[in-house]
Structures are given as C-alpha cells and as structure tokens.
Amino acid sequence: MPFLAAGLLAGTAQADVFLPSGDADSVLHLNDALANVSRVDGVENPHGLAVAPGRGLLVTGSLSQMAREDAAQMEKPAEMDAAAHDAHHGGAPAGTGTVSIVTLASVADRAPVARVEVSGMVHHVEVDAAERYAVATHPGLEGVSVIDLEDL
C-alpha cells in the first residue's frame, strides 16, 4: 500500500514524503523523486504524521493505546535527559487509563528525540505554520491534544 500512495503523489511531489508503516513500527522516508531515503524506526504503530521542517522534526501519532503505567516504562530517547523524560509522563489528563504516544523524531538522523503521552489513539497530526504547536486528533474521545513544541 505505501507504494500505491507514493505513486499517487508522483505528479505533485515537491518535497520529501513520509509514509507511516503502521504495524511495521516505522515511517518510510522518500525523497522528492520518490526514491527510498531511509526509515524512521522506533515509532509505535504510526498513523497520523506531520513535518516541522524548520525544526527538523517529524511528528508521528500512534494508533496503539497502552496503559499509562506501561507508557511510563518506555525507554527514553538517547538525546533526552532524564528530567525531560520524567516531566512529560503523566501528561494525559487524569481519568483516562490509556494513552498513546506522539513521537517527535529528528528528520536528519531519523531517531526519536521525544515521546509525549496523549489520551486516546491518534488519528491525524498537524503542525501550525509557525511550527510552535502540534495538534493530534482523538476521534474516539471527540477531542484533540495540543503539544507545545518548545517545551513539550
């Protein structure tokens, strides 16, 4: 299916293309000629995604949900210090027993730099024009999460 989607974009591609690979837990990165550049690994069941090109970030939302306690046990990205890792756990509002993860990955080195817990599965993701905020939709909860890209 990713190749079909890539083929549909061939006539209009103006920049790199990122395709979520769902259960493969990665995102395929194609250049503007639709040649395979790399994969961004370490993203749980990616679905919605957006790029913040000025920040060099790929923002990817997960369709998978997990218990909040399990999310707290996830390995922190190597580039993130322990205080920052601990600060964003528990970010989902009280009263929700499950969370999903929005992964912020470096486009340059294809590695996760931060993971942010949000309530409910993520369907769509968007970054505002100023690249200050990412928004993730949660159709099952009829809500959204807004992530401040400055301080997560």
Q: For residue 36, what are its two tokens?
A: 């395979």
Between residues 64 and 66, which one has the greater pLDDT? 64
Q: Is 7 helix (H, G, I), strand (E, B) or coil?
A: helix
Q: What does pTM read for this prediction?
A: 0.73
Query: Using one digit for the tens of pLDDT, what is the confidence trace for 8-41?
Result: 444 443 578 899 988 899 899 898 888 998 998 8
pLDDT value of position 120 = 86
Q: Between residues 49 and 89, which one has the greater pLDDT?
A: 49
Question: In the chain, what percentage of residues exceed pLDDT 90?
Answer: 41
Q: Give the pLDDT confidence score for residue 98 in this predicted structure.
A: 83
In order, the DSSP letters of 34-97 are --EEEEEE--SSEEEEEEETTTTEEEEEES--EEHHHHHTSPPPTTS-HHHHHHHTT-SPTT--
- Band of residue 73 on the pLDDT scale cut at 50, 70, 90: low
Tens of pLDDT, residues 113-134 = 999 999 889 999 999 999 999 9
**pLDDT-derived band at 81, boundaries 50, 70, 90:** low
